[in-house]
Structure 1
Amino acid sequence: MLNHEPLRLADGEYRFACLVWDNEPLPSGQLVALAAEGLGWKKSTTYTVLKKLCERGVLQNADGRVTSLIKKEDVQQAESAAVVDKTFDGSLPRFVAAFLNSKPISDAEAAEIRALLDAARYKEE
């Protein structure tokens, strides 16, 4: 089984990484400005979190240009799997049932979910 630890981000780390994903490649100075505006962070906080995420292999800061090494979708997938594992004992049907009991979905959302289920089922065959 793969180690998904680099893909699990704390809330602040995720919001910070989103700034990179949405704007990459970007100069580190621009990232400082975006973090100040969007997250209310000081320059020192930005560079501390940037360094941490670089050490974990999530982001890269080369020659003052920040880019991602891991896709946003991969982080979202790892986080979703962790929620299903932790909260629903790994049961995707229990997760879906809990979600569907919390709010109604539109016909378009239901059709999209059916298409995803069909695609996943055919992938296994």
Structure 2
Amino acid sequence: MELLWSNKVLAAKDISKIIKEYIGWEKNTTYTVIKRLIDKGAIIREDPGFLCKAAIPKRTIQIIETQALLNKLYNGSLSNFLTEYIGNQTLSTSEVLELERIINEYKL
């Protein structure tokens, strides 16, 4: 998906070559994953040339995955996550001020 988000449209054969170089997957494995993503509606296939493009924006996936992570690890609680995460960090004054700015921006 990262390839498609950054390149907009790629031929499946080009995706396969890139994935082979970086991950080591064979062509059949890559094509199987592409097919599954097409079936799930994450990728749109265009012909001729078996061109692939993302059907779902990266930001949408980030939102879904972030919520799933919060649900899985922190019972859906953003405050529990922030307490745990920030409690294990050494924050600079500028980072604290930036977090305060962000929180103030989203106050009701």
Identity %: 28
Decide whether aligned partners of structure 1 residues 67 and 91 sit closer, same or farther in structure 2, where only a CA change above 3 A counts.
Answer: same
Q: Contact 1:19/1:35 (CA < 8 Å) preserved in 2?
A: no
- The higher radius of gyration belongs to 2
The answer on whether the counterparts of 1:84 and 1:95 sit within 8 Å (CA) in structure 2 is: yes
2:32 to 48, 66, 91: 48
Which of 55, 63, 66 pairs up with 1:69?
Answer: 55
In structure 1, the residue matched to 2:10 is: 26
How far 1:111 sits from its partner (Å)?
Answer: 4.1
| 1:79 is aligned to 2:65 | yes
Q: Deviations over 1:55-113 (max 9, x none)?
A: 11111121121100111111111111111112111111110111112332444544443
Unaligned runs of 5+ in 1: 1-16
TM-score computed with the length of structure 2 as normaliser: 0.84
Root-mean-square deviation over aligned CA pairs: 1.8
Q: Which moved more, 1:103-112 or 1:50-59?
A: 103-112
SS at 1:41 equivalent: coil
How many residue pairs get aligned? The number is 106
Structure with the higher helix share, 1 or 2: 1
> How big is each residue's C-alpha offset from its partner over 1:8-66, in whole Å with a ceiling of 9 and x where there is no partner?
xxxxxxxxx11221222112211111111122111001110001011111111211211
